[in-house]
Amino acid sequence: MNEFKNAKEEYDNTPIPQELETRVQAGVREGRARYRARRTFRRWASAAACFAVVLAALNLSPTIAKAAADVPVLGGLFRVLTVISYDATDGEINYLMSVPRLEAEGDLAQAVNDTIENRVQRHLLKARRDWDDYREAFFATGGTEEDWAGREMDVIVDYEIKSQTDSRVSFVVTLAEGWVSSMEERYYYNLDLSEDRDLTLRDYLGEDWVNVCNASIEQQIADSVDEEGFTYFFTPEEGGFTTVDESTGFYVREDGTVVVCFPRYSIAAGAAGIPEFPIA
């Protein structure tokens, strides 16, 4: 706890840097170095402190929650920790953050953690650029300070564990922006920690997984057509669904059902939300 307290005090006293990109990259390198150096609970406190230093580059002053096990140790193989958890406001931008990390032996957990960290950093930088560009364009086209007043952006990082066993976990990480327009990206992680590998649709649905998925999805799209012939889904000719492939996202529910997912707007109108298809 002393180490975490000291790290937090160091963060609170960190001056705002002049160059955002430089500090972010330095924070990423420092976070990786600390993460790889330790395999105890202190490693997670250090990771949280490093992330706090990175976020100081965004002129934030959140209270960093201590690393906490959201998932208990299961069979001694892994656990999922929330290493960053806070809500904070920086001017007109509200940050709602819940960032996960895997604690497990093997290379897979490290690779997943690195990927999540990099995606979060890029998301934070992009959100700031998007907001600055929007603000500049607003005033460049005649907007006034009075008209601008009250405008704000939500920047969200969150995750949800969909299912878990003694050796497997399926979870989704969401990165989102909410303002006059909205953006949401979801990343799907299906892992076998005992075998140190990603799980695929083939692992769950067998060698004929493509046909199994396609038949189920096509039927569900057909069932969505109402009595007047309306559906939110695009036809294949309009850019709608054609087939799944190795890049198709999915998660696994607690009952073992595989749910195939597509990005918003990719195969249906935005009003359909994020299309999800349970595969029977």
| pLDDT(3) > 60 | no
Taking residue 146's Cβ as centre, other Cβ atoms within 10 Å add up to 7
DSSP letter for each residue of the chain:
-HHHHHHHHHHHTPPPPS-HHHHHHHHHHHHHHHHHH--SHHHHHHHHHHHHHHHHTTT--PPPPPPEESS--BTTTEEEEEEEEEEEEETTEEEEEEEEEEEESSHHHHHHHHHHHHHHHHHHHHHHHHHHHHHHHHHHTT--HHHHTT--EEEEEEEEEEEE-SSEEEEEEEEEEESSSEEEEEEEEEEETTTTEE--HHHHH-TTHHHHHHHHHHHHHHHT--TTS--SBPPGGGT------TT-EEEE-TTS-EEEE--TTTSB-GGG-S-EEEE-
What pLDDT, in 10s, does the model give residues 254-263?
A: 999 999 999 9
13-23 burial code (b ≥16 CB/10 A, e <16): eeeeeeebeeb
Tell me what pLDDT residue 76 has: 57
Local confidence band at 79 (pLDDT 50, 70, 90 cut-offs) = confident
Q: Please give the mean pLDDT across all residues of the chain.
A: 80
| pLDDT(78) > 80 | yes
Residue whose pair of structure tokens reads 């929330």 in the numeric block: 82
Local confidence band at 242 (pLDDT 50, 70, 90 cut-offs) = very high
Taking residue 130's Cβ as centre, other Cβ atoms within 10 Å add up to 16
Whole-prediction pTM: 0.75
Q: Spell out the residues 6+ positions from residue 77 whose beta carbon is closer than 8 angstroms to its own.
A: 104, 105, 166, 167, 193, 194
Rounded to the nearest 10 degrees, how much is the dihedral formed by the CA atoms of 23, 36, 45, 24? 10
Tell me what pLDDT residue 40 has: 32
Amino acid, res. 177: E
Q: What is the mean pLDDT of residues 112-129?
A: 94
